[in-house]
Amino acid sequence: MRRSSTIILSLAATFSVSCTQPPATSSPRPQWAVAIHGGAGVLDPAKYGDRAPDYADGLRRALNVAVTSLKSGEASINVVEQVVATLEDDPLFNAGRGAVLNWDGEVEMDASIMSGGDHSCGAVAGVRTVKNPIRLARLVMDRSRHVLFAGAGAEAFADQMAMPRMEPSYFHTQRRHESWLRYREKHESPDQHGTVGCVALDRQGRLAAATSTGGLTGKQPGRVGDTPIIGAGTWADDETCAVSCTGTGEEFIRHGVAQRISDLMANRGASLNEAARHVIENILRPGDGGIIAVDRSGAIAMVYSTGGMFRGAATSDGRFEVAIWDEPENPRQAP
């Protein structure tokens, strides 16, 4: 890990400056803040241009759910669950309805959720029939003494919890079927790492994160990526930040990305943006993916090393924007 060691030295130099100076901004922290993502990837504007308004609408709908809840004082752990469930229900995104198909042409969905106060968390991997995997992850957190259930055991837990279940036809979309056929016939991968996620700071200063995915088109059955791995795809700690990741899951696991961003804040005095940029730009490889994060002060980071990332952010200060590429698309105020 020569690369890592060099980078830590340069970080140390950067942080020694930022640690000895007061923060550049002295604006009061927003009462609440939220960020969402709907996956990252090459996202060639020539190919996605026509569909950009649809994606922007989907992101805005989810962001509005967050804004309404956070305004009313809802706990961040409930907000991230609700927002991710909204994105799962939207067939545009690779989670819940519209999840991609594995090699056998079936959905296998992963999700996780974490509360920053006491690190309580829940996750599921490889579920096939649960309408909203993020809600099952929440029940693992609240109603079991465990953190992670996988495969048939996760389905059995869903039975115990009487979770809403759906037939395969509910999850399958024509677009995912075509992607699956192209992968099976030509090993042609879609240019998108599909995942959805939400991070939020509520009025009480509580942080939470949630992530959900259908994984990779044509993946081998049983493959589990970073989404249900606490510390890799999802992390929340009220002392630092809440993080949700999207990208080449294996790389996010190898480098413990979500927890690593939090650790750089806790142990190096890095700002959220410094920590997130360091991990995405220096620890991961170009094209590996992106993250959204919010810290205890309400600062938001949305960093990616791909062509684009479906994303959105809102705060009590009136910020409300969604974006796919480098510039916010059609920024508009919250209604």
What residues have CB less than 8 Å from 264, skipping those under 6 apart?
11, 270, 274, 275, 278, 279
**Number of residues near its own copies (by CB under 8 A):** 54
Q: Out of 30, 38, 91, 126, which residue is the one contacting its own copies (CB under 8 A)?
A: 126
Taking the least distance from each CB to its own copies, the nearer of 9 and 46 is 9
Residue 334 near its own copies by CB under 8 A: no
**Annotated catalytic residue within 6, 68, 129, 195:** 195
Q: Rounded to the nearest whole angstrom, what is the least distance from the CB of residue 171 to its own copies in the complex?
A: 18
Q: For residue 278, what are the CA distances in angstroms to 11, 116, 202, 241?
A: 8, 22, 26, 15
Catalytic residue status for 195: yes
Compose the 239-278 pattern: x for residues touching its own copies by CB under 8 A, - for all others: x---------xx--xxxx--xx--xx-xxx----------
- Give 198-216 as a 3 state SS string: EEEECCCCCEEEEEEECCC
Rounded-to-integer distance, Cα 97 and Cα 154, Å: 18
How many CB atoms are located within 10 Å of the residue 17 CB? 8
Q: For residue 314, what are the CA distances in angstroms to 113, 189, 201?
A: 20, 32, 11
Taking the least distance from each CB to its own copies, the nearer of 155 and 321 is 155
In the window 139-158, what residues touch its own copies (CB under 8 A)? 144-157
What residues have CB less than 8 Å from 248, skipping those under 6 apart?
193, 287, 288, 289
In the window 71-110, what residues touch its own copies (CB under 8 A)? none
Residue that is written with structure tokens 């927002």 in the block: 83
* Interaction site with its own copies (CB under 8 A): 1, 4-5, 8, 116-121, 125-126, 144-157, 219-225, 229-232, 235, 237-239, 249-250, 253-256, 259-260, 263-264, 266-268
List, by residue number, the catalytic residues: 195
